[in-house]
């Protein structure tokens, strides 16, 4: 994981997760996700998206963005929504 992070920081010359996501063409949305969800990552029709709970403070939003960005980089192709609808995997494991 550290190598992946270092590679992204070198490539985009920043450690700002919003700028890295922009450079990777990941769309970032802010929305009300309820009480227990801080963020989520999904990919649909070749579009990669991060949704961040809009009620979080700026530091939390940045941390959630970085966390969801890690899902994009470390688990490409895994999409919880797809798994829930089309597979018998225990999505809580991922």
Of the pLDDT bands very low, low, confident and very high (cuts 50, 70, 90), residue 78 is: low
Query: Is 25:48 a contact under the CB 8 Å cutoff?
Result: yes
> Measured between alpha carbons, how far is 33 from 15 in angstroms, rounded to an integer?
26
Inform me whether the pLDDT recorded for 11 exceeds 90.
yes
Inform me whether the pLDDT recorded for 7 exceeds 50.
yes
- Strands, E assignment, 1-94: 26-31, 39-44, 47-53
- Specify the number of domains making up the chain: 1
Domain that holds residue 61: 2-93
Give the tens place of pLDDT for each residue, 37-50: 898 888 888 899 99
CATH of the domain at 6: 3.30.2010
Least confident of 49-58, 59-68, 70-79: 70-79
Q: Which residues are bridge partners to 48 per DSSP?
A: 26, 43
């Amino acid at each position: 994981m550290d190598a992946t992070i270092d590679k992204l920081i070198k490539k985009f010359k920043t450690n700002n997760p919003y700028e890295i996501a922009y450079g990777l063409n990941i769309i970032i949305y802010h929305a009300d996700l309820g009480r227990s969800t801080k963020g989520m990552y999904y990919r649909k029709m070749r579009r990669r998206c991060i949704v961040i709970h809009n009620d979080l403070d700026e530091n939390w939003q940045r941390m959630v963005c970085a966390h969801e960005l890690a899902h994009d980089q470390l688990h490409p192709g895994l999409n919880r929504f797809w798994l829930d609808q089309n597979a018998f995997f225990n999505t809580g494991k991922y």
